[in-house]
Amino acid sequence: MLPYRRHPGVRPLQFALSGLHAHIGHDLVLTVVDNCHALGCAPPDLDGEFERVGDLLVSLEERIHEDLMPGPELLGIADPLTHLVSSWNLERAREAARVLWRLRGFPSPAEEFRHRTDVGAGLVGRFLLTPCR
């Protein structure tokens, strides 16, 4: 994703949304499972904390929109981006963490699931960084 850093057609909003998606679709999933191992609990036991993280992410998304949204002349470009950002889904991340937790006794499928989570997050991140011009 670094090759797009200086591309004139990739807006700061795109980088912010790409990072937000990576944290939800990848990092959050792995962090929930790692914390469950450390705390000796299962993902449903962390639902309250998960909801608090979700509230924080929603407010962050709102701030990103306010701070980085281009002016009216670029709204045609921004519309597809605002639609793409809604591709993140906290409930899907929660379910992915639960699946990974259920696979904890099966190292090979668990590693494959982790890998697929990484690949999926990377794919969406690259889509979000598609140059607008």
Q: What is the pLDDT along the chain (133 residues), one digit of tens a residue?
A: 666 677 888 887 788 888 888 888 899 999 999 999 999 999 999 989 888 887 887 787 777 766 666 555 555 555 565 555 555 678 888 899 999 999 999 999 999 999 999 999 998 888 888 887 7
DSSP state of 10: S
pTM: 0.76
How many C-beta neighbours within 10 Å does residue 6 have?
A: 7
Distance CA 32, CA 106 (A): 18
**Residue 15: predicted pLDDT:** 82
Express each pLDDT in 90-105 by its tens digit.
888 889 999 999 999 9
